[in-house]
Chain A
Amino acid sequence: MLGLNAKDAGLFLLVTIMVILAPLILNPFPEGSELAQFNAGYPDLMQRFVIFGIFAIGFNILFGLTGYLSFGHAAFLGVGSYAAIWMMKLLTLNVIPAIIMAVIFAGLFALLVGFVSLRRSGIYFSILTLAFAQMSYALAYSVLTPLTGGETGLQIKSTDSPLLSNLANGEIGRANLFGLEMGSSFEWGVGNWLFTFNAGYYIAGIVMLMAFYMSIRIFRSPFGMMLRAVKSNQQRMNYTGLNSKPYTLAAFVISGMYAGLAGGLLVAMDTQVGPERMFWTASGEVVLMSILGGVGTLIGPVLGAGMIKYMENIISKINDNILHQWFAFLPDGMEDFVVFLIHPFIGKGWHLTLGLVFMAVVIFLPGGLVEGGQRIGRLFRRKKRDGAVGDAAKTPAE
């Protein structure tokens, strides 16, 4: 199907179903229940899942296949975002030109950064990309203020009147796809449950599926094999008549374009951008996503992105009051003590929890969440097989 082998087609189908059903799957707890705060099925967060999924998928094409670890990929996300918002301010509030511009600008910038950084490999390459990203951040933060809005960034304002959008005087434009607004949602209440089907989420979801499909095709193509050859033995590659440089540069530019696509989509969803999007911690985050999910696997980066965005948005919302409610059944002294123990890991402390999870994964599951899934799968199959043998053994006795 679609030029994929059976296994890949199955994976793609599974991801497609998950994307379609996410508003249901991610809202398992009824409104108003104590566990409702663990629901992730609201538009803003679901959009983040798929958009950062795209970012991580693209990063994985570079890092997972060629082994080149970029520490500056947030720069391409940022460049894409600025390009997109300018398109929306000047040309049209339709998101398509904005997203296309985001990809083009990020790709061009990646060509420049990659051309310079790929002169070195290993840690020197990482440092060069980091330096580029921090320079971009500094440019956006202050030097290029007229272009980037400096510290406060850029938003769609009532004074903006894009060429192709007919806005009433003073009306603040809203991002749309041929009239369908990103913010528009359809809500479906079933009993105590409330499910939100948001236009922006589904548009980003479709883009994510296309990006995922392209990444599968790249992984399975001769080009993908060459990228793995770069990681495996660049010397052998060169003595085999292949120029490893353009291969790595192409991978770098492709992954930069994925980042730009993610940046453009972020702007399409919330019509604003600030320089912090390019800060080095944002570059580090996508590295964590890939490693957490499983470097070099197809689905790993998406899982890693989902996990990190979930923790960032859900764990950070939990506060001491909520903890007291949960542990109210304990005797008073105990309750305070337990809350005291957990306190550093919630709210602003979610980074600490993430750090612990990350360490646990790297130490016990070097292949990331994907390896975890595979291990569980194997365990499950073995149990089933043992069970079958057990049944067979029992039958004669009965």
Chain B
Amino acid sequence: MGILEVKGVGKRFGGLAALSDVTLSVEENSVHAIIGPNGAGKSTLLNCLVGKLIPDTGSVMFDGQSVLGRKPHEINQMGISRVFQTPEIFGDLTVLENIMIPCFAKRDGAFRMHAFEQFSHEKELIEKSEHILEDVNMADKKDMHAASMSRGDKRRLEMAMCLVQDPKLLLLDEPTAGMARADTNNTIDLLKEINEKRKITMAIIEHDMHVVFSLAQRITVLAQGTPLVEDTPDNIKGNAKVQEAYLGESQN
């Protein structure tokens, strides 16, 4: 039994079957990549996992509990954090505050009336946040206005916001898109280290095959809303159906 079990999930948008009968299982402590051409339904699948969308059919079990019908904040509190395809950060706040917010969410739960406590007294959380900023090479940017940063920095910030929560499952939607080569390599190293040292399970959507093959232990190939195959990276490399799906895309 994997930590995440998706069974028979289907989702329609009007006449379009964005997902149909998707079944996959993510093993605890593994990195599981989901690949497939644009429009295959990868982001839609993640949306069904975090409560942004409710699937029409099927079930999604996390850590032995169903996530269906739960609110996004409840699902996060169960231990799932998500990095979005377009960075979702608190643009009006500083980089440090962006990291502090998930820290508070992790420590204090979905709501706490800490109106007369002082931000500057939270030494422990501030230290933890500064630490994670060092991990993503952003320590020098902690007082910056988050909205004024480059897209690559926003991505790394969002990743740090998820990592600081020590999630049981980290969902990443194209985390290296728009990053320079060097940053991509740093991100690979960071994710690898997090997976190995902190044992965080990851499901990652990625177009960059270099990233996929550097990180993933299992790969699911999605095409037109259905899984084509699920296998190890080595087997996927030689799979004819996968070649076809990707060739199909490159001809467009």
**Of the residues B92, B100, B106, B117, contact of A241 by C-beta under 8 Å:** B106
Q: Chain A interface residue count: which class?
A: 20 to 34
- B100 with A225: CB separation less than 8 A: yes
Task: For A254, list chain B residues within 8 Å (CB).
Answer: 115
Query: What is the minimal beta-carbon distance from B159 to any residue of chain A, in angstroms?
Result: 13
B97 CB within 8 Å of chain A: yes
Q: Are A240 and B114 in contact (CB under 8 A)?
A: no
Choose the segment among B58-66, B83-91, B186-194 that binds chain A (4+ C-beta atoms closer than 8 Å). B83-91
Chain B, 50-104, CB within 8 A of any chain A CB: 50, 52, 71-73, 76-77, 81-82, 84, 88-93, 97, 100-102, 104
- Per a CB cutoff under 8 Å, which of B52, B92, B114, B165 touches A223? B114
Number of B interface residues, CB 8 Å?
38
CA A225 to CA B137, docked complex, whole Å = 24
| Interface-lining segment among A15-23, A192-200, A229-237 | A229-237
CB of A222 within 8 A of CB of B88, answer no
Chain A residue numbers with a CB within 8 Å of B117 are 221-223
Among the 9-residue stretches B4-12, B118-126, B212-220, B221-229, the one with 4 or more Cβ atoms under 8 Å from chain A is B118-126
Chain B residues whose CB sits within 8 angstroms of the CB of A226 once the complex forms: 101, 104
Confirm or deny: A42 has a beta carbon within 8 angstroms of a beta carbon on chain B: no
Distance in angstroms between the alpha carbons of A232 and B98 in the assembled complex: 11
Q: State whether the Cβ of A242 lies closer than 8 Å to any Cβ in chain B.
A: yes
Given A223-B114, A242-B101, A242-B105, verify A235-B73 contact (CB < 8 Å).
Answer: no
- Considering only CB atoms, which chain B residue lies closest to A237 in the complex? B101
Confirm or deny: A256 has a beta carbon within 8 angstroms of a beta carbon on chain B. no
**Chain A positions 208 through 248: 1 when the CB is less than 8 Å from some CB of chain B, otherwise 0:** 00000000011011111110110111011111111110110
A232/B92 in contact, CB under 8 A: yes
Classify the secondary structure of B's interface with A.
Answer: loop
Q: Which of B52, B76, B113 contacts A240 (CB 8 A)?
A: B76
Instruction: Assess whether A32 is interfacial by the CB under 8 Å rule.
Output: no
A5 to B120, CA, bound (A): 9
Bound-state Cα–Cα, A236 to B113, Å: 19
Q: How many angstroms from the CA of A49 to the CA of B92 in the assembled complex?
A: 31
CB distance from B84 to the nearest CB of A (A): 8
B residues 225-246 near A (Cβ < 8 Å) are none
Does B71 lie within 8 Å of A222, measured CB to CB? Answer: no
Q: What residues of chain B lie closer than 8 Å to A232, measured between beta carbons?
A: 90-93
Also in contact, A223 and B115, with CB within 8 A (given A232-B92, A233-B89, A236-B89): yes
B101 touches A229 (CB 8 A): yes
Docked-complex contact A239 and B90, CB < 8 angstroms:
no
Residue in B90, B109, B110, B122 whose CB lies within 8 Å of A222: B122
Cross-chain pairs A/B with CB under 8 angstroms, 14 sampled: A217-B116, A218-B116, A220-B120, A221-B114, A221-B118, A223-B113, A236-B88, A240-B102, A240-B105, A240-B165, A241-B76, A241-B77, A241-B110, A242-B104
The 9 closest A-B pairs by CB, nearest first: A241-B76, A241-B105, A243-B110, A223-B115, A232-B92, A232-B90, A236-B88, A238-B72, A246-B111
Q: Which residues of B contact A (CB under 8 A)?
A: 50, 52, 71-73, 76-77, 81-82, 84, 88-93, 97, 100-102, 104-106, 109-120, 122, 161, 165
The residues of A with any CB-CB pair to B shorter than 8 Å are 3, 5, 217-218, 220-226, 228-229, 231-233, 235-244, 246-247, 250, 254
